[in-house]
Amino acid sequence: MPRRQGKEYMNMQSTIEAIPFVKNNAPLAASEQIAVIEHHFRKIMLALGLNVEDDSLKDTPLRVAKMFVNESFMGLNPLNEPSVTLFENKFRYNEIVLERDIPLYSYCEHHFVPIIGKAHIAYISKGQVIGLSKLNRIVHYYSKRPQVQERLTVQVAEHLKAVMDIEDVAVVVEAEHLCVAARGVNDTGCSTLTTSMHGQFHTEARSRQLFAMLAI
């Protein structure tokens, strides 16, 4: 991945650091995280009155711990940041490049229940194009952590701006939150739409309207 530096990189870092981490707290190694989560999740199950010796439940604390560390929240580990492949824009294509319907699975940081949706990402090249699968990987990386949708949307946009050294980026995320659908008000069929528009997508009506027409 190209070395990132200067203002764009600092902007991206400050956006990433918006995650409420404990300051000056060295993260545990993955194996230690799994051990701690397994221990405490077992206590949660016991507090709920579950028989953790039952054949169906006895390995659940370890399964949950591994899922949290290696899958659901792998985006908390900066070592999992996806590498990015850029190619020269040999054809001097200067219109919108759009990838629609990128699957998105995240977790609401307020209740730790799923956020399920899709992202649409567009950009206008300034000399280079990005491998399309990398757009998916960027979305997956920022999704795999406790999130709020507004932050997730901005993080994807800022990351793409930084790695491609461009301003013309647009991101739309549409998602259903199970903290609304499966608890509390228990309303299904509701979706939340968030946007992060930059460069031409923010300042020029034509680019913004064309993106909206193509993406949604």
Question: How far is the C-alpha of 99 from the C-alpha of 80, rounded, in Å?
Answer: 22
Active-site residue identified among 111, 128, 176, 202: 111
Question: How far is the C-alpha of 194 from the C-alpha of 178, rounded, in Å?
Answer: 17
Active-site residue identified among 149, 155, 158, 200: 149
Catalytic residue list contains 149: yes
Catalytic residue list contains 179: yes
Catalytic residue list contains 109: yes
Question: Cα dist. 15→49, 57, 127 in Å?
Answer: 41, 39, 25
For residue 98, give both structure tokens.
């759009």
Active-site residue identified among 109, 167, 176, 202: 109
Catalytic residue list contains 159: no
Catalytic residue list contains 108: yes
Active-site residue identified among 99, 120, 179, 198: 179
Active-site residue identified among 108, 120, 155, 159: 108
Catalytic residue list contains 177: yes
Catalytic residue list contains 120: no
Question: Cα dist. 207→18, 35, 98, 213 in Å?
Answer: 29, 50, 12, 10
Active-site residue identified among 40, 110, 150, 204: 110
DSSP 8-state secondary structure symbol assigned to residue 80: G
What residues are labeled active site?
Answer: 108-111, 149, 177, 179
